[in-house]
Amino acid sequence: MPQENRLILKFADAPGYTSDIECYLRNDGYEALKKALAFAPKALPDGKSMSGPEQIREEVKASGLRGRGGAGFSCGLKWSFVDRKSGKPIYLICNADESEPGTFKDRQILHKDPHQMIEGMIISCYANDVKLAYIYIRGEFPEGARILNRALAEARARNFLGKNILGSGYDLEIHVHRGAGAYICGEETGLIESLEGKRAYPRIKPPYFPAILGLYMCPTIVNNVETLCAVKHIITMGAAGFAKLGTPNNTGTRIVSISGQVRKPGYYEVEVGKATIGELINDFAGGLREGRKLKAIIPGGSSAKVFKAGEKFKLKRKDAEGKEIEVETDVLDLPYDFDSLMAAGTMSGSGAIIVMDDSTDIVEALANISEFYAHESCGQCTPCREGSLWMSKALNRLAHGEGRKEDADYLLRIADNIPGGRTICAFGEACSWPVQSFVRKFKDEFVAKGAEAESRRSASIGAGPRSEMKIAASPRSD
Ligand SMILES: Cc1cc2nc3c(=O)[nH]c(=O)nc-3n(C[C@H](O)[C@H](O)[C@H](O)COP(=O)(O)O)c2cc1C
Ligand code: SF4
């Protein structure tokens, strides 16, 4: 797409570009690592000095890079929380679980340009004094794991990994660890448990903040694939160069996965906040099919709160004189960035937009999403374990014509009682947000489905005793 600004995917789809190290080296591969390793200690005005790794950490902080895995937390700030005084080893884990429904960006990097991620990872490890790092890849990506293992062997053979990397005195080893295919393994503390060989039960924070008590109870950094790639570009371009891309507080580029009822579903890399949701859907993804109207948009992976077509939001903006004003903004005119989506009550999450047109049965769509969350809850917390299942059952019966008018309120009552600190991890929010937003924004459709089912049932009760028996055996009984 001409409107794209490909930084991370610059070469990924170029003709003849392969995942081989030779190809990567021909395109300035591992030059950023050489630059990072060559950062000399810098004298500070107070007479102290700043080491090369410290300077890299400062660059990453100054670049404004925000994590691309979901929460959009500042990468530099996350690194600054690492306990460097514990005397324990510091670990870094690349989160390549990519399991949020609708998201398919990390796998493009892993398959098409694995060395870019490995280079970003080595630089990040060097910056944080990490000697042992892991790539946690989801079980359903066997090809990705094979490509990564080959790429790591190539990097080792060239001394970009291993002992005394490029004569710098720095040692690092990276291992690939394959998950067994569970969504909760993408949650960083569940991932850490899984990497330790246990069931992926998330840990409670506090005290188990990975930066302090992570892998093997040692300080640990968990970063997404795309975040680690961005680190390489920050070193190449400098923090200021990177921050020129995107918009203030939303710097760099972002790979957006667009799926659903659009003509050209796919992944598109854009400067953060430079394209609106409408542009992404209509210009990049080709818009809706002929004769269809927009109904709903999930903006950040299936756990993000849904938008209804035509929704308006009040966004804070600066006028020509720099005064803060509120501007009414249609959902399609929202800039696709972390802050605008948060101001609109949702999130850009994993950067995955799912588009639904007017042919979508909204109850069925939510039933589908909720079934996924009910299946994936790890089961440690009662509100999440029971609530996700109750919501899924209620939605299934509604979608299958067995519901009740009150189901909409019943669903909201459950969904409102899961999030807000009642669960160990943010999965509680992830399973409730779709229900809260779908039911509140499309309530008439949920009520109508329940009412329709009730009137069909009362009509069939009048038809004789056999029908009554059928109702007694309806799934509501559980
Ligand atoms: C239920 C759940 C699933 C998650 N799945 C993923 C995932 O598949 N990939 C990912 O990078 N982050 C995922 N995250 C976010 C991670 O916990 C973590 O914040 C992220 O990997 C940090 O990387 P970043 O700071 O570079 O974004 C998930 C979070 C939750 C609560
Ligand atoms: S919120 Fe859900 S997924 Fe997270 S720990 Fe509790 S039960 Fe498990």
* 23 has pLDDT over 80: yes
For ligand 1, atom 22, the nearest C-alpha belongs to 223
Predicted confidence (pLDDT) per residue in 211-267, tens digit: 999 999 999 999 999 999 999 999 999 999 999 999 999 999 999 999 999 999 999
Percent of all residues in the chain with a pLDDT value above 90, rounded to a whole number: 92
Task: Output the pLDDT for position 316.
Answer: 87
Q: What is the pLDDT of residue 2?
A: 59
Task: Report the separation in Å between the CA atom of 466 and the middle of ligand 1, taken as the mean of its atom positions.
Answer: 51
Cα–chain-centroid distance for residue 142? 20
Q: Which ligand is nearest to the CA of 203?
A: 2
Is residue 172 one of the residues assigned to a domain?
yes
> Is residue 181 within 8 Å of 132, Cβ to Cβ?
no
CA 83–ligand 2 middle distance (angstroms): 26
272: CATH: 3.10.20.600
For CA atoms 162, 41, 39, 86, the dihedral sign is: positive
The residue contributing the CA closest to ligand 2 atom 8 is: 378
70 CB within 6 A, ligand 1: yes
Task: State the average pLDDT over residues 166-172.
Answer: 98
- With a 6 A CB cut-off, is 407 part of the ligand 1 pocket? no
Please report whether residue 316 resides in a domain: yes
Q: Give 431 Cα–ligand 2 centroid separation in angstroms.
A: 10
Give strand pairing partners of 42: 50
Instruction: Count structural domains, the chain.
Output: 3
Is residue 473's pLDDT more than 50?
Answer: no
Q: Residue 72 C-alpha to ligand 2 middle, in angstroms?
A: 21
Look at residue 248 and tell me if it is in a domain.
no
403 C-alpha to ligand 2 centroid (Å): 27
Last residue within a domain, chosen from 312, 333, 357: 357
What was the pLDDT predicted at 1?
61
- Is residue 472 over pLDDT 90? no
Q: Could you read off the pLDDT of 42-51 as tens digits, one per residue?
A: 999 999 999 9
394 occurs within a structural domain: yes
Q: Is the beta carbon of 101 within 6 A of some atom in ligand 1? A: no
Look at residue 190 and give its three-state secondary structure: helix
Evaluate whether residue 25 is within a structural domain: yes
For residue range 67-120, list pLDDT tens digits in order: 999 999 999 999 999 999 999 999 999 999 999 999 999 999 999 999 999 999
Q: Which amino acid is present at 116?
A: Q
Residues 397 and 295 in one domain: no
Q: Check pLDDT > 90 for residue 373.
A: yes
Mark which of 327, 357, 387 sits at the end of a domain. 357
Q: Is 427 in the pocket of ligand 1 (CB under 6 A)?
A: yes
Mutate which of 68, 204, 223, 224 for ligand 1 pocket (most atoms within 8 A of beta carbon): 224
Q: Once rounded to an integer, what is the mean pLDDT over residues 116-135?
A: 98
What pLDDT does 17 receive?
A: 97
Q: For residue 372, report the distance from its CA to the centre of ligand 1, in Å.
A: 17
Q: What is the distance in A from the centroid of ligand 2 to the CA of 385?
A: 7
Domain boundary among 334, 357, 380: 357
Q: Spell out a b/e string for 142-154, using b for 16 or more CB atoms within 10 Å of the CB, else e.
A: eebbebbbebbeb
Task: Decide: 56 and 75 in contact? Cβ < 8 Å.
Answer: no
| Same domain assignment for residues 260 and 227 | no
Same domain, 373 and 401: yes
Q: Which atom of ligand 2 is nearest to the CA of 425?
A: 4
Reply yes or no on whether the pLDDT at 181 is more than 90. no
At 463 the pLDDT is 64
Alpha-carbon distance of 389 to 102, in angstroms, equals 21
What's the confidence (pLDDT) of residue 475? 46
**Mean pLDDT (whole number) for 349-376:** 98
Expressed as residue numbers, the domain containing 215 is 21-243
Residues 81 and 191 in one domain: yes
Q: Is 169 exposed, middle or buried (0-12, 13-18, 19+ CB in 10 A)?
A: exposed
Q: What is the CATH number of the domain that holds 388?
A: 1.20.1440.230
Q: What is the pLDDT of residues 71-86, one digit of tens each?
A: 999 999 999 999 999 9
Q: What is the C-alpha separation between 198 and 202, in angstroms, rounded? A: 11
Distance 25 CA to ligand 1 centre (A): 30
470-474: average pLDDT: 44
Q: What is the pTM of this model?
A: 0.94
Q: Give yes or no: residues 312 and 437 share one domain.
A: no
183 has a pLDDT exceeding 50: yes
How many whole angstroms separate alpha carbon 230 and alpha carbon 408? 43
Which DSSP category does 183 fall into?
G
User: Which residues have any ligand 2 atom within 6 Å of their CB?
Assistant: 184, 202, 377-381, 384-385, 423-425, 427-428
Cα angle: 161, vertex 166, 169; to 5 degrees: 90
Q: Which of 258-267, 286-295, 464-473 has the lowest mean pLDDT?
A: 464-473
Residues 271, 213, single domain; the answer is no
**Helix residue ranges, H only, 267-361:** 277-279, 338-343
- Most informative mutation of 427, 429, 433 for ligand 2 (most atoms within 8 A of CB): 427
Q: For residue 210, tell me if it sits in a domain.
A: yes
**Ligand 2 atom at minimum distance from 184 CA:** 3
pLDDT in tens, 411-464: 999 999 999 999 999 999 999 999 999 999 999 999 999 999 999 998 887 765
- The answer on 222 and 75 residing in a single domain is yes
Least distant ligand from the CA of 231: 1
Note whether 408 and 435 are same-domain residues: yes
Are 96 and 136 contacting, i.e. CB atoms less than 8 angstroms apart? Answer: yes
pLDDT at 269 over 60: yes
Residue 249 placed within a domain: no
- The CATH number given to whatever domain includes residue 221 is 3.40.50.11540
Do 127 and 36 lie in one domain? The reply is yes
Q: Indicate the average pLDDT of the chain.
A: 95
Ligand 1 close to Cβ of residue 76 (< 6 A) = no
Q: Residue of the nearest CA to atom 4 in ligand 2?
A: 425
Render pLDDT for 185-220 as a digit per residue (tens, 0 to 9). 999 999 999 999 999 999 999 999 999 999 999 999
Do 141 and 194 belong together in one domain? yes
From the CA of 358, how far away is ligand 1's center (Å)?
Answer: 31
Nearest-CA residue for atom 24 of ligand 1: 67
Assigned domain for 8 exists: no
How much distance in Å is there from the Cα of 82 to the middle of ligand 1? Answer: 18
**Ligand 1 pocket, residue 423 CB under 6 Å:** no
CA of 49 to the centre of ligand 2 (A): 45
Do the Cβ atoms of 233 and 225 come closer than 8 Å?
A: no
Residue 312 near residue 329 (C-beta atoms within 8 A): yes
Ligand 2 atom closest to Cα of residue 385: 7
Q: How far is the CA of 69 from the centre of ligand 1 (A)?
A: 5
Q: What is the pLDDT of residue 317?
A: 84
Omega within 30 of 0 (cis) for the link into 206: yes
Predicted pLDDT of residue 467:
46
Same domain, 261 and 380: no
Same domain, 310 and 413: no
